[in-house]
Amino acid sequence: MDTVMNSQRKRIHPHKFALYLAIGSIVMMFAGLTSAYIVRQAQGNWVYFEMPIVFWVSTASILLSSVTMHLGLKAFKNRQIPRYKSLITATLLLGVLFTVLQYVGFTQLYSNNIRVDGNPSESFLFIIAGLHLLHILGGIIALLIVFFRAFRKRVKVYNATGLEIVAIYWHFVDVLWIYLFVFFLANQ
């Protein structure tokens, strides 16, 4: 009986496994894009530009959202539901703030004639960051679902698996942005 219980404890939830596969695919996509960026940069005809300050603020907001997500998951597991609700709300708001700040940053770049149809360096920036923003929007949709579930009147099942999956994904897009942001700063 103990062997069966230990075997079941070591199994990964199928949804988590699917998420890990998706994360692996996303990592490969961004690794390919950033590698192509470096190869194309070495060929010359490259425009260098500074990232607007607003990107630093957006980075701080997504880092803070990861902290609130972690604390929210911890509160949920400890059945501190009021704390969980406030932390999940903060995570969602910080995710939306990140998205708005990214929009402001890219609007600033666009007003400085950094455009998708310009130099290849500009196109790479917009495509790579735009793809990341699509993944952030997916995370915000997942956070909205978690948010609405947190505030519904009746809780059918008290299970942390769904929240853990959202947290893993949210932390992943956070780390991915940090990687991209540092990558762009290093290649200015």
Smallest CA-to-CA distance from 96 within 65, 125, 67 is with: 65
So what's the pLDDT on residue 91? 97
* Single-letter code of the amino acid located at 1: M
132 and 177 Cβ atoms separated by less than 8 Å? yes
CATH number at residue 136: 1.20.120.80
For position 155, what pLDDT does the model report?
A: 66
Number of domains the chain contains: 1
pLDDT tens, position by position, 175-188: 999 999 999 998 87
Average pLDDT over residues 141-154: 90
**pLDDT value of residue 156:** 64
Contact (Cβ atoms closer than 8 angstroms) between residue 97 and residue 61: yes
pLDDT tens digits, 53-69? 999 999 999 999 999 99
pLDDT tens per residue, range 66-124? 999 999 999 999 999 999 999 999 999 999 999 999 999 999 988 988 877 778 888 88
Question: Where in the sequence is the domain holding 72, given as residue range(s)?
Answer: 2-45+53-186
Tell me how crowded residue 166 is: count the other CB atoms within 10 A of its CB. 22
Task: Supply the pLDDT for residue 138.
Answer: 95
User: Is 70 exceeded by the pLDDT of residue 157?
Assistant: no
Q: What is the model's pTM?
A: 0.89
pLDDT per position as a tens digit, 12-24? 889 999 999 999 9
The predicted pLDDT at position 118 comes to: 72
3-state SS record for the chain: CHHHHHHHHHCCCHHHHHHHHHHHHHHHHHHHHHHHHHHHHHCCCCCCCCCCCHHHHHHHHHHHHHHHHHHHHHHHHCCCHHHHHHHHHHHHHHHHHHHHHHHHHHHHHHHCCCCCCCCHHHHHHHHHHHHHHHHHHHHHHHHHHHHHHHCCCCCCCCCCHHHHHHHHHHHHHHHHHHHHHHHHHHCC
